[in-house]
Structure 1
């Protein structure tokens, strides 16, 4: 059983049920903590619809928190949600601005994770 993340008619990630639901829950929690909507909506079909513009704003805020804190625990807690979000955002055709000091590390983490995220 899967939990696909879809933008319009395009599947961005055909996640396994458990991993997809966990990421969705973590993203919703992060969005609540940031006081912004995530742009992710559970559908009656058992998938997750991605509103690219709202999701891009959420991912940008998540990155801003990641980039601005010196709290190592906060950075680590947000890292997996951020990297997964960046992969999904790339696949949806969206982008956020990333500081040059973070670009190489995040690009490497995205590439590594994207290989495991079936489309």
Structure 2
């Protein structure tokens, strides 16, 4: 059983049921913490619809939190959600401006993760 993330009829990530639901729950929790909508909506068909514009704002705010703190615990807690969100955002054609100090590390993490995220 899978939990696909979709945008405009295109599958961005055909996540396994558990990993997809966990990411969705973590993203919703982060969105609540950031006081913005996530742009992710569970559908009656058992998938997750991605609203690109709203999801881009969510991912940008998540990155802003990551980039603005030197609290390693907070950075690590958000890192997995951020990297997964950046991969999905790339796949939907969105972008978030990343500071040069973070670019290499996040690009490497995205490449590693993206290779495991089936489309």
1:96 deviates by: 0.7
Query: Unmatched 5+ residue regions in structure 1?
Result: none
| TM-score, reference length from structure 2 | 1.00
How big is the shift at 1:47? 0.1
Q: 1:51 Cα deviation (Å)?
A: 0.1
Aligned residue runs from structure 1 range 71-90, under 5 A: 71-90=71-90
1:1-20 alignment runs, 5 A limit: 1-20=1-20
What's the counterpart of residue 117 of structure 1? 117
Task: Quote how far apart the aligned CAs of 1:2 are.
Answer: 0.1
Output the aligned Cα RMSD: 0.3
Corresponding position of 1:45: 45
Number of residues of Structure 1 aligned to a counterpart in Structure 2: 119
- Counterpart position of 1:29: 29
Runs of 4+ in 1 over 3 A off after TM superposition: none
CA displacement at 1:93 relative to structure 2? 0.3
Aligned residue for 2:67? 67
In structure 1, the residue matched to 2:98 is 98
What CA distance in whole angstroms lies between the structure 2 residues aligned with 1:70 and 1:10?
37
- Unpaired runs of at least 5, structure 2: none
Summarize deviations over 1:9-50 as a string: whole Å, max 9, x none: 110000000000000000000000000000000000000000
